[in-house]
Amino acid sequence: QSALTQPASVSGSPGQSITISCTGTTSDVGGYNYVSWYQQHPGKAPKLIIYDVTNRPSGVSNRFSGSKSGSTASLTISGLQTEDEADYYCNSYTTSSTHVVFGGGTKLTVL
């Protein structure tokens, strides 16, 4: 199955806001509200930060927010902090036989 499309890298300065996109098709992102986002620091397991497009699990900072327009989902991080530097992955339901697909990942650098 084809991975969802994410930019390879984004960067921002402390205090700024950044947005990471996740582009799919009507068979996945565009057709269903089952988009989740994960944060992964080097050498660590991924952490769920957004589920069902816009919802934050308990304990996740409200600086993280999710949205969707058409077949593109977005993760916005406001008030960037140095500890936000990590890799970010989107994930979605897909009508393909596999049911689940990840994006290729985006490396966030906080300058």
Which range, of 14-22, 33-41, 69-77, 78-86, touches other proteins by CB under 8 A?
Answer: 33-41
39 touching other proteins, by CB under 8 A: no
Q: For residue 111, state whether it binds other proteins (rule: CB under 8 A).
A: no
CA 45 to chain CA centroid, Å, is: 15
Nearest Cα neighbor of 5 from 19, 26, 27, 25 is 25
User: Does 93 engage in binding with other proteins (CB under 8 A)?
Assistant: yes
Binder of other proteins out of 48, 54, 70, 83 (CB under 8 A): 48
Which residue type sits at 7? P
Residues forming beta bridges with residue 103, ordered by sequence position: 4
Distance, C-alpha 43 to centroid of its chain: 19
Q: Is 3 in the site for other proteins (CB under 8 A)?
A: yes
Can you list the positions of beta strands (E) in 24-85?
Answer: 35-40, 47-50, 64-69, 72-77
Of 23, 65, 74, 91, the one binding other proteins by CB under 8 A: 91
Residue numbers of the site for other proteins (CB under 8 A)? 1, 3, 34, 36, 38, 40, 45-48, 51-52, 57, 87, 89, 91-93, 97-105
